[in-house]
Structure 1
Amino acid sequence: MSKYMVFYNTTNAMRAQLSQIPPDQAGAGMRDWMTWGERVGDRLVDMGSPLENDGEDDVQVSGYSIIDADSREQLDGFLQGHPHTKAGGTISTQRFMDMPEM
């Protein structure tokens, strides 16, 4: 099994749009995230957190999660239909390196 860092990427335009969402719609979005987390189950090591965006780059990492997966294909399955991509964002991933035992 491998551990993957999942990065949620947004553009300036998407961040501006998300900041204008009314609280009731934001709550529905959070429910979508919780439903996704339940689907991934105990393979979701850390749901993560939103990140502050303060740079000048248009596309920035706006959040993260950590997932255990048996393969890249399984990870892709966990991320299929993710609420972040449904909202217009993109996702990138990196596998944690295996560390030698000491």
Structure 2
Amino acid sequence: MNRYIVLYHAAQEVAERFARATPEEAAVGLAQWQAWSVRLGDSLVDAGRPLGAPATVTPDAVSDGGSDVIGLSVIQAASREEAIALMRDHHHLAFGSITVLEEQMIPELASAES
């Protein structure tokens, strides 16, 4: 099985709206996450969490913002296509987009882990 990092993209306003959700609205969102988690079963390595306060670091500066990534999860699947299929009906797609990235092993580290 391969591991995939799932990044949830949305406008910062969406993240702010989530942060201001009423307890009832939060309960609906939590129920959607729980249903998704159950549906994925063992394919879900880490359900993840919301992300905030992005900073971009370059050799010359640090700047605030500049990212529309508002959350992440980690899944596992036999192939890229299977990983994408696991995300096709994710409830986040009502708010934004999802990026699925396959983790790549660093050869030197992979041989040391064996």
| Residues 88-99 of structure 1 aligned to structure 2 (within 5 Å) | 88-99=95-106
Q: Displacement of 1:9 after TM fit?
A: 1.4
**TM-score, scaled relative to structure 2:** 0.77
Percentage of pairs with the same residue: 30
- Partners in 2 of 1:27 and 1:101 — Cα distance? 45
Q: Does 1:16 align with 2:16?
A: yes
> Aligned residue for 2:57?
none
> Aligned residue for 1:3?
3
**TM-score, scaled relative to structure 1:** 0.85
Maintained 8 Å contact 2:2/2:78: yes
Select the structure of larger CA radius of gyration: 2
> Aligned residue for 1:73?
81
The answer for unaligned runs of 5 or more in structure 2 is 55-63
Q: Displacement of 1:10 after TM fit?
A: 1.7
> Aligned residue for 2:65?
56
| One-letter code aligned to 2:50 | P
Maintained 8 Å contact 1:53/1:60: no
- Partners in 1 of 2:73 and 2:16 — Cα distance? 22
Structure 1 segments of 4+ aligned residues over 4 angstroms from their partners: none
The answer for unaligned runs of 5 or more in structure 1 is none
> Aligned residue for 1:101?
111
The number of residues matched between the two structures is 100
Q: Displacement of 1:60 after TM fit?
A: 2.0
What RMSD, in angstroms, separates the aligned Cα atoms of the two structures? 1.6
> Aligned residue for 1:84?
92
| One-letter code aligned to 2:4 | Y
